Amino acid sequence: MNNLYFLFSKAISPIINPINFLFVFLLIIFFLYLKSNKKIFLKIFTIIFSSLAIIAFLPIGKLGIFYLEKNYNNNQEFQNIKNIIVLSGSDKRIISSIKLATELKGSKIFYVGGDSNIINKNTSYEYERAKKFYKNLNFDINRIKFISNPRNTIESFQEIKKLNFRSNETLLITSAYHMKRAMIISNKLGLSFIPHAVDFKYKSQNSLINKYQHFNVSSNFTLFNLFFREMLGIASFKILS
């Protein structure tokens, strides 16, 4: 199941990336219309163009990100934490792990994740990058265990499960938008950790002027793609598991 999930999620996600797909399909329909001049292609073109405009100018992606992040606000205080799991990804995850490990003196960091490319040419890249980042921030490398062979979230948790951590002694760090998928997968594998989300993408703007000031079409596309990818990952896991 895991290899099937990995190949499916990595191979198909660029193809059905909604923005990529809509733009390519838009061009195809446009050229078909020019060649045949059939009204059906003009109607399809209008539908696709309208969809892109809706995604670009309405906060659909932003609301989707809010849905993914809303349950992980990190208001709790931590006690007796011995293990800090960091799923590989943004540098903010590393920075947060250092901050927590500094506060939680007896804890140890477990940095989990490797190369997620289908054609894996350098399995140690993510490990080397993370190790260098920790060193540059003058953190004690002896307090870190690197697990660099997993290619995706499922494989990461399969490796973590072998460590037999107690749930009440273990924090899980990942980006807020990715936490829901991470918790769904970990719970399915019989794991239960304390979530600590970082790198929040949703930012509430109460003022209409502030909303206008921060309006950005490319940002709307980016957030929609991010939301879509996470929901695709969740759906793929539930279907294939």
pLDDT of res. 206:
65
Residue 126: which domain range? 83-198
pLDDT of res. 238:
85
pLDDT of res. 7:
47
What's the pTM?
0.81
φ/ψ bin of 26: left (φ > 0), alpha (ψ from -120 to 50), beta (otherwise): alpha
What single letter denotes the amino acid at residue 106? G
C-alpha 225/C-alpha 206 separation (Å) is 24
Q: How many domains does the chain have?
A: 1
- Residue 41, in any domain of the structure: no
pLDDT of res. 36:
81
Q: Which pLDDT tens digit goes with each residue over 72-127?
A: 987 777 888 999 999 988 899 999 999 999 999 889 999 998 766 655 555 567 77
- Residue 101, in any domain of the structure: yes
Q: Which pLDDT tens digit goes with each residue over 11-70?
A: 445 555 777 777 777 788 877 777 787 788 888 888 888 888 899 888 899 999 999 999
Contacts 24+ apart (CB under 8 A), 29-36: none
Q: Which pLDDT tens digit goes with each residue over 202-219?
A: 877 666 666 666 678 888
- Residue 98, in any domain of the structure: yes
Helix, strand, or coil (residue 194): strand
C-alpha 85/C-alpha 179 separation (Å) is 13
C-alpha 70/C-alpha 53 separation (Å) is 26
- Residue 177, in any domain of the structure: yes
CATH number of residue 130's parent domain: 3.40.50.620
pLDDT tier, 144 (very low <50, low <70, confident <90, very high otherwise): very high
- Residue 10, in any domain of the structure: no
Helix (H) / strand (E) element for 24: namely helix 18-36
Q: Which two tokens stand for residue 14?
A: 């660029």
pLDDT of res. 199:
92
CA-nearest of 229, 153, 225, 143 to 184 is 153
pLDDT of res. 107:
93
Question: 171 near 81, Cβ under 8 Å?
Answer: yes
C-alpha 173/C-alpha 156 separation (Å) is 13
C-alpha 62/C-alpha 200 separation (Å) is 11
φ/ψ bin of 37: left (φ > 0), alpha (ψ from -120 to 50), beta (otherwise): left
C-alpha 141/C-alpha 125 separation (Å) is 17
Q: Which residues contact 53 (CB under 8 A, 6 or more apart)?
A: none
- Residue 77, in any domain of the structure: no
Question: 214 near 205, Cβ under 8 Å?
Answer: yes
- Residue 66, in any domain of the structure: no
pLDDT of res. 19:
76
pLDDT of res. 150:
83
pLDDT of res. 204:
73
Q: Quick one: average pLDDT of 150-172? A: 90
- Residue 26, in any domain of the structure: no
- Where would I find the H helices in 85-216? 91-103, 125-136, 153-161, 176-188, 208-213
